Amino acid sequence: MAKSDRRPCCLNSAPPLLLGAHVSIAGGVHKAIERGAEHGCTAIQIFVKGNTRWDFPPLDSLEIKMFKEARRNSSVKCVIAHAIYLINLASGDPVVRHKSIADVVDELRRCEALGVDSLVIHPGAHGGLGTEAGIQNVARALDEIFDQVGKCRCHLLLETTAGQGTALAATFEELRAIIAQTSRRRRLGVCLDTAHVFAAGYDLRTAEGYANLWRDFDAALGRGLLRAIHLNDSKGRCGSRLDRHEHIGKGLIGQQAFRRLVTDARLRGIPMVTETPSSPDPKEIRWLFSVAKRARSMPQE
């Protein structure tokens, strides 16, 4: 792949504002770039295949070419992908495990072909095996995935979860345990979802809750592992473990937390995308950009 096909998410000097939404690929992957650009997004998230099916036709070379061309000429500087919801790398069921590994390998290859920067996955649910066994299963599956994929520049990001049912990764310690047990740590990163961490117990409504979130993230994982943020308000209460996204400012988190996130100088260069109902929501994106840009025009302390 030519160097110019891939744009880095972070530039060395002044990290760009990478803000946007999850957008549909209906009509072809290149359409996602157009949809993002229409709303002024500088970052988008896409699915690289139908999100509710294991089998999906491969990307053809024309689709890949059109995607790269669209990206080259658009405001969208960073593209991340989200894996299908069927995968469960923590599963003890050999069929589910096999399908999940094959799927993530396929999705990483699609991302690589498109020049997508990162692929986000949910680590999985142990389904009664216990947290430790689930973590071991995920770590082994990740090693197997990277063995099969071989050389690849796309990072695989493990997303924080609300901890519903037996889902792993409601705590940063569980994510750390998974990453510590793999032999491919440099290929991995973390995607933090605001609705999930709120439902898992971080009260983002207060300055103290916001500070605690990053204190714990840095202590367990280190900020270098943070590679994406999902900006979602929550229908579920703080600590409820209920994973229900809501429009920004309309849920129980409220606008203030999102103001803090998009104006936090330490998070510049990290792609932030909304996954709220009916995403991309033009009003929501406009509001996020206006808050972020107002802060950027003011001197930083």
Residues that bind Zn ion (CB under 5 A): 159, 193, 230
Token pair recorded at residue 216: 């714990």
DSSP class of 267? G
Q: Which is nearer to Zn ion, 106 or 159 (CB)?
A: 159
Least distance in Å: CB of 189 to Zn ion?
Answer: 14
Other C-beta atoms closer than 10 Å to the C-beta of 228 total: 26
Least distance in Å: CB of 157 to Zn ion?
Answer: 10
Q: Which is nearer to Zn ion, 149 or 167 (CB)?
A: 167
Q: Which is nearer to Zn ion, 81 or 105 (CB)?
A: 81
* Alpha carbons 99 and 277: distance in angstroms, whole number: 28
Three-state SS for 241?
coil
Least distance in Å: CB of 205 to Zn ion?
Answer: 19
Three-state SS for 89?
coil
- For 32-39, which contacts have Cβ atoms below 8 Å and span 24 or more sequence positions? 32/67, 32/79, 33/67, 33/70, 33/71, 33/74, 33/76, 33/79, 34/70, 34/74, 35/280, 36/74, 36/75, 36/76, 36/280, 37/74, 37/75, 37/76, 39/280, 39/282, 39/285, 39/286
Q: Which is nearer to Zn ion, 70 or 252 (CB)?
A: 252
Least distance in Å: CB of 294 to Zn ion?
Answer: 26
Q: Which is nearer to Zn ion, 193 or 284 (CB)?
A: 193
* Alpha carbons 279 and 277: distance in angstroms, whole number: 5
Least distance in Å: CB of 253 to Zn ion?
Answer: 14
